[in-house]
Amino acid sequence: MKQVNIGSGSAYWGDMLEPAVEMAERGNVQYIGFDHLAELTMALLNRMKLKNPEMGYIPDIIPWMKKLLPVTVPRGIKMVTDAGGANPLQAAREVKKVIKDLNLGPMKIGVVSGDDVLPYLDDIRRQGFKFTNLDTGEEDIDRIKENIVAANAYTGADEIIAELKNGADMIITGRVSDNALYVGPLMYEFGWEYTDAYVNQIAAAVTIGHIIECAECVTGGMSNMWKASERPWEIGFPIVEVFENGDAIVTKTPDSGGIVNTWTVKEHLLYEVIDPHNYLMPDGIADFSAIKLEDVGFNRVKVSNFSGKKRPDTLKLCIGYKDGYIGEGMVLLPAPDALEKAKFCDKWLRERFKILGVEFEELRIDYIGVNTLYGEAGEIEDKDYNEVGIRVAGKARTRQEAETVRREATHLWTMGPIGSSFGTPMKVRPVIKLWPTLVPREAVRTESELMEVK
C-alpha cells in the first residue's frame, strides 16, 4: 500500500527552526508543512505591505530557507509554507534569490495567492451577500467599514494541488487554511478528489492536518504529559505516515526529544475545535466521533476510522478592523503585606484614572500570583504571600488615553508602597479586532502560478 510521510515544521511565526531542520535531515519525509500565520499576523503583514509593496510576507522565510533548502533539495523533500502571508509572490522572489545564491536550482516554486478579499469586499456585498459576524450575530459590516484593515479568506488546497500537479518542488502560499498545507500534498499524492467518493479520505487528511499543524503541540509541547516528555529542550516535530486508505501513524523525528502517545494525540485532536462532529475546513468536514487511537509502539500512535462530509460552500473570512488601543502596566510587590500592597495599588490606580477623567471602554486589574488566571473561579486567600504582582490593562478609543495606563503604572513605581519593583514599561498597542464571517467559495478569486528558477 502506498505510504506518504508528511511532517510539520512550524506552528507559528517565531517557532523554533532546529526541529524542522532535524526533521528534514533524518525524518524520512516527502513533505513538510510550515504554518506561520495567525489572525493578527495577517493584519500586521497587510500593514507592512501598505508601507512597502515589497514586504508583507514572513521575513523569517529567508533565513529559514537558507538553512532548510540545502537539506531538503538533495533529498527531494517538498516544503509547503504559508510564509507568503500578504505577499506570496514577493516571498517567492526572495526564495528564488536564496536558491540562486546557494546554487540549488533548477527548481519550480508554486505560488498560491488570492485569499485577500479586501479589494473586492464591496463587489461581493453589491451582489447581495451580507458579512454577518459569526460571534456576535451583527448583520453586516457597515459599522466597521471605515476601519477595516484586512479581509482574508481561509482557502483550501485546490491551488496547492494544482501546482504540485504542475511539477512544483515547493509551495509558497498566502492565507490558505493551516490545514490545507497538509491536505494538499495528501490529496495530490493519493489522487483524492473533491467528490462524494473521497469524503472519508479527505476527512482523514483534514484530521491528520489538524493533528500535526501545531507542530510541537502534539509531541509534548504544552502537554499534560510534560513530566513524561523526554529531553523537552530537544523536542522533535511530528511526522505522520499516511496510507492510501487514510489510516495514519503519528510519530516524530527519530532520536528527538518529546513524547507522542494516545494522550498527546487526544489533547491535540480536541485543541481549538468547537464541534468535534463537524470540524469545518475548506477542503472537507471531519467528524472526530468515531476516530480510533491506538499506541502501536514507542512514540507511535495509529489513527484510523475517519469519517466526514463534503466541503462547505462557504469559506471562513476573517475581517480585521482598527478598534482603539490597549495600555498596560505591571508592578511586583514584596512581603511584608504583599497582598495588602497590591490592593493599595489597585485603589491608587483607580483614583488616578478618576482624577484624570479617562474613559476606558474596559479596565482590568489582576493580582499576579493570586487571580490573574483563575479570575472569579478562585478565592483570594488572605495569606502571607512572599510576593504579589499587580497588572493593569485598559482599553481606550485613543492612543493618548491608553497611554495614561502605562504612565500611571510607572508613577506607582515611585509613589506606591515600599518595595514596589518594576521592569520595563510596556508599549501601548493598537487593537485590531476580528470580525469572523463567511464568504461564498466562488466569490474568492484564488490563483496560482509556477515560478521557475534556473
Using CB under 8 A, pick the residue from 3, 52, 289, 398 that binds other proteins.
289
Residues 6+ apart with CB under 8 A from 453: 96, 99, 100, 105, 106, 107, 108, 109
Near other proteins in 141-160, by CB under 8 A = none
Segment interacting with other proteins (CB under 8 A) among 2-10, 173-181, 264-272, 342-350: 264-272
Work out how close the CB of 187 gets to other proteins at its nearest, in angstroms, rounded to a whole number. Answer: 25
Using CB under 8 A, pick the residue from 326, 338, 390, 444 that binds other proteins.
326
Using CB under 8 A, pick the residue from 47, 125, 145, 266 that binds other proteins.
266
Using CB under 8 A, pick the residue from 1, 197, 274, 418 that binds other proteins.
274
Work out how close the CB of 418 gets to other proteins at its nearest, in angstroms, rounded to a whole number. Answer: 25
Q: Considering beta carbons, is residue 67 or 266 the nearer one to other proteins?
A: 266
Work out how close the CB of 102 gets to other proteins at its nearest, in angstroms, rounded to a whole number. Answer: 37
Residues 6+ apart with CB under 8 A from 93: 451
- Residue 179 and residue 173: Cα distance in Å, rounded? 12
The answer to whether 275 contacts other proteins (rule: CB under 8 A) is yes
- Ramachandran angles phi, psi of 392, nearest 5°: -120, 140
Work out how close the CB of 334 gets to other proteins at its nearest, in angstroms, rounded to a whole number. Answer: 20
- Residue 102 and residue 93: Cα distance in Å, rounded? 14
Interstrand relation of 3-10 and 31-34 (parallel, antiparallel or unpaired): parallel
Coil, strand or helix at 83: coil
Work out how close the CB of 289 gets to other proteins at its nearest, in angstroms, rounded to a whole number. Answer: 6
- Residue 48 and residue 57: Cα distance in Å, rounded? 9
Using CB under 8 A, pick the residue from 66, 130, 231, 292 that binds other proteins.
292
Segment interacting with other proteins (CB under 8 A) among 97-105, 249-257, 392-400, 446-454: 392-400
Peptide bond into 276 cis (omega under 30): no
What DSSP string runs through 319-386?
EEEEEEEEEEEEEEEESSSHHHHHHHHHHHHHHHHHHHT---SEEEEEEETTTTTTGGGS----S--S
CB 58, CB 13: distance < 8 Å: yes
Near other proteins in 202-261, by CB under 8 A = 222-225, 227-228, 230, 259
Q: Considering beta carbons, is residue 33 or 394 the nearer one to other proteins?
A: 394
Residues 6+ apart with CB under 8 A from 316: 153, 154, 177, 280, 282, 436, 437, 438
Q: Considering beta carbons, is residue 71 or 431 the nearer one to other proteins?
A: 431
The answer to whether 374 contacts other proteins (rule: CB under 8 A) is yes
Q: What share of the chain is helix, strand, coil (3-state, %, to 5)?
A: 35, 30, 35
Q: Considering beta carbons, is residue 72 or 371 the nearer one to other proteins?
A: 371
- Residue 303 and residue 343: Cα distance in Å, rounded? 51
The answer to whether 272 contacts other proteins (rule: CB under 8 A) is yes
Using CB under 8 A, pick the residue from 64, 182, 188, 288 that binds other proteins.
288
The answer to whether 391 contacts other proteins (rule: CB under 8 A) is yes
- Residue 7 and residue 177: Cα distance in Å, rounded? 16
Compute how many residues bind other proteins; rule: CB under 8 A: 56
Q: Considering beta carbons, is residue 73 or 402 the nearer one to other proteins?
A: 402
- Residue 7 and residue 328: Cα distance in Å, rounded? 39
Coil, strand or helix at 273: coil
Residues in contact with other proteins, shown as a per-residue x/- string from 327 to 366 under the rule CB under 8 A? -----------------------------------xxx-x
Using CB under 8 A, pick the residue from 286, 432, 439, 453 that binds other proteins.
432
User: Where do contacts with other proteins occur on this chain (CB under 8 A)?
Assistant: 39-40, 43, 134-135, 222-225, 227-228, 230, 259, 263, 266-277, 288-293, 320, 323, 326, 362-364, 366, 368, 372-378, 391, 393-395, 431-434, 436
